Amino acid sequence: MVNFLKIKAIPSLGLIITLIAVALASELFFYIGITIFTQQALGLVLGCSLAIVFISSPIKNSNKNKITWYDLFFALIGFFIGIYISYRYPIVSAEFFERREEAFWIGLVVVPLVIEALRRTAGLGLVIIVLFFLLYGLFAHLVPGQLNGRSQSFFKLIAYLGTDLNAIFGLPLIIITTIVLLFILFGQVLLNSGGSDWFTDLAMSLTGRSRGGSAKISIVASAMFGSISGSAVSNVASTGVLTIPLMKKGGYKAPSAGAFEAVASTGGQIMPPIMGAAAFLMAERLELSYNEVILAALIPALLFYYAIFIQADIEAVKRKIPPIPKEEIRPFRSVIIEGWYFFIPFIILIFSLFELNKRPETAAIWAITSSIILSFIFSYKGKKLNLYKVLECLINTGRAGVDIIIIGAMAGIIIGVVEVTGLSFGLTFVLVQLGGQNVLLLLIVTAIVSIVLGMGMPTTAIYLIVATLAAPPLVELGIEKIAADMFVLYFGLMSMITPPVAIAAFTAANLAKAKPMETALLACKYGWPAFILPFIFVFSPALLLQGTLYQILLSSISTLIGVWASSVGINGFYRKNLGLFHKIIFVIAGIVFLIPFQDYNYNEYILKIIGIISFCIALIMSYLKR
């Protein structure tokens, strides 16, 4: 029985999830003449996901090779409630007031199952957050002050959460099913057809000949693959198995190797053109074009990777780490000739999004289809797709997407409570009051909240939650919407490398056989720009391409110099080890350059001149000591 469920049932359910996602994204139901509500398909997706969770993730401390009767019971209930919702949703939705009792019973089954599935996949922390919101929904009228809201009866709240378009089956689950799962499938296709090997070889041919080339290979490969994968952890797992041993062999200590991989993989989630699918979510949420979002994200992402490169280079010089031996590096020309076809799906994706203005899901379908066709024809290092591997990609996508689907349902519960109680207005008011009219204080509070909310979650889930709860107060104080959303996204992602729940850093530490906490702290050190850049682009939107060409260039150059000078000062090395006073001069110069331009007035220019003088003094000291 156990073998049947694990070998047959879970793959079948994973396949169903992916096929439904592909059908919705490609509008297959429309083309074959079947009219269905999106929520009918989502009901089946959620039902299959619940069944997979209860079969594959037993109650804590129980035997994983044994499925208890109650786990099987929950799995069956979850699966059949999904089928029931799929069948009954049109009627319940059209006749909600007459069918409210039926909606209540649906919610009474679905909501507890989602919460328990969440506990098994994401841990108790998120469950506590959900329960807090549910309690607020029931007792909002008793909360004093500005957080006082419209409480709902247990009957009304559960009926609403179980069936309303603004709750479980709302926007988060729709976007995850129709967009995010497709990019997970795209990543799976690339992984199984040799794409991740090609990214690594391409990175090696580009950077392997420079000092500390092994770390730079990791940074480039993780940036490229991480933008697609949608998960820092899966990015670490896929590229880290190659790059971490390469770094250790090259001379980097195990914690440093793990830290560079973790921070580079996390950064892939903010790297255009895909940003782990966050770009599409942001475009939908802010009602902007996809082009506007990725162009806004471009300069901060490049600055982030520039800073990591600097630190990898400094570490290489300090430890006298040589380039990768020439015989281990494939010539760039050879890599391109053998893997040129990997470019085509990306060209199709970008062209369809930019030039043809296609929806993200349509562009993803085209890119996936072209990637599959090309991988049937060509091979890279002997890897190519066949029908069995395509089936494996479809199954793995469904299974990999289960955690995100459950978190999407959880986000729907939170959004539903926020909407029905009016909590969003009260929460915005309280946070704005907390910051007074001091935007910096509010930003610091929001950054901490975003890191806490983002702990242990995939990129898309992080964005959905932090953007819903933490971004509105920033907009209320006059911050640009896209800057506010980018700010909370950055800090939500930093939970991946920030103790105590630094899951990307801990995964990398496991691969590097290093101490998890030491690796996480080093990752924070290497990734320090990600903690600073959001503050800069909030106060200086020119970094998000919101301004004139002069303002964009001035802000970018100032930040570029600031990142370099600060990195040198923090690491205490430029051509040789720096003394304390020398470090301080570099850090002061870096801080002055990092202070954002706001009004581009006389005082700001004077401040930058002080930075230039400090910077020149630090450089002269370095050359004199040499």
Comparing 40-49, 168-177, 276-285, 508-517, which segment has the lowest mean pLDDT?
Answer: 276-285
Q: Which residue has the higher pLDDT, 560 or 455?
A: 560
Please give the full DSSP string across 205-257, using - where no structure is assigned.
Answer: HHHTTSTTHHHHHHHHHHHHHHHHHS-HHHHHHHHHHHHHHHHHHHT--HHHH
State the pLDDT at residue 393: 92
State the pLDDT at residue 61: 52
Residues 454, 492 contacting (CB under 8 angstroms): yes
Per-residue confidence band for 18, with pLDDT thresholds at 50, 70 and 90: very high
| Average pLDDT estimate for 481-489 | 88
Comparing 79-88, 105-114, 174-183, 300-309, which segment has the lowest mean pLDDT?
Answer: 174-183
Strands (E), 535-605: 573-574, 576-577
**pLDDT by residue (tens digit) across 564-622?**
998 888 888 777 777 888 888 888 899 999 988 877 777 888 888 888 888 888 888 87
Q: Which residue has the higher pLDDT, 264 or 64?
A: 264
**pLDDT by residue (tens digit) across 367-418?**
899 999 999 999 888 888 989 999 999 999 998 888 888 888 888 888 888 8
3-state secondary structure 412-443: HHHHHHHHHHCHHHHHHHHHHHHHCCCHHHHH
**pLDDT by residue (tens digit) across 19-64?**
999 999 888 888 888 778 888 999 999 999 999 999 888 775 555 5
| Average pLDDT estimate for 487-512 | 83
> In which element (H, E) is residue 287 found?
none
State the pLDDT at residue 212: 73
**pLDDT by residue (tens digit) across 272-287?**
877 766 777 788 788 8
- The pair of structure tokens assigned to 363 is 């562009």
C-alpha 221/C-alpha 223 separation (Å) is 5
Shortest CA distance to 364 belongs to which of 187, 215, 161, 488? Answer: 187
C-alpha 174/C-alpha 365 separation (Å) is 16
Instruction: Fill in the amino acid letter for 207.
Output: T
Per-residue confidence band for 15, with pLDDT thresholds at 50, 70 and 90: very high
| Average pLDDT estimate for 159-182 | 85
State the pLDDT at residue 81: 93
**pLDDT by residue (tens digit) across 116-129?**
998 888 778 778 88
**pLDDT by residue (tens digit) across 336-378?**
888 889 889 888 888 887 778 787 788 889 989 999 999 999 9
- The pair of structure tokens assigned to 286 is 């802010």
**pLDDT by residue (tens digit) across 100-147?**
889 899 999 999 999 999 888 877 877 888 898 899 999 988 888 777
Per-residue confidence band for 3, with pLDDT thresholds at 50, 70 and 90: low
**pLDDT by residue (tens digit) across 425-447?**
777 777 667 666 678 888 888 88
Shortest CA distance to 431 belongs to which of 413, 443, 415, 418? Answer: 443
Comparing 172-176, 319-323, 405-409, which segment has the lowest mean pLDDT?
Answer: 319-323
State the pLDDT at residue 357: 77
- The pair of structure tokens assigned to 426 is 């009260």
Please give the full DSSP string across 486-527, using - where no structure is assigned.
Answer: HHHHHHHHHTTTSTTS-HHHHHHHHHHT--HHHHHHHHHHHT
State the pLDDT at residue 276: 66
State the pLDDT at residue 394: 93
- The pair of structure tokens assigned to 35 is 């009219």
